[in-house]
Amino acid sequence: MMAAQNHPLVYNIAQLAFGLNPKCALSGLTLDDEGVYGTAHIGIGTSIVLSGEATASMHFDAVMLKPTLEADGKVVLKDGEWLI
């Protein structure tokens, strides 16, 4: 899908964020699911609407369930549970 756009900025990492809302439940709607506590999501492509500089022919969001995040060599999020 991205290669078919024939535009190099479709591979731009526009955002990386983590869900922090314990009252938000998975619904299958990306905009809702991005806020679910313990999730992470990545946005790829256009970032101009996020105060970035990339204008691509698309923007794609993907939500990850139970992610693990390491920062400065220390695991701070493991399987969707914050350790800090």
* Grouped pLDDT means (10 residues each) for the chain, 84 residues: 91 95 95 95 92 90 96 96 93
**Number of domains the chain contains:** 1
Question: Coil, helix or strand for 32?
Answer: helix
Nearest CA to 42 out of 4, 25, 33 is that of 33
Range of the domain at 9: 3-82
Report the distance separating Cα 75 and Cα 70, nearest Å.
4
Q: What is the pTM of this model?
A: 0.81
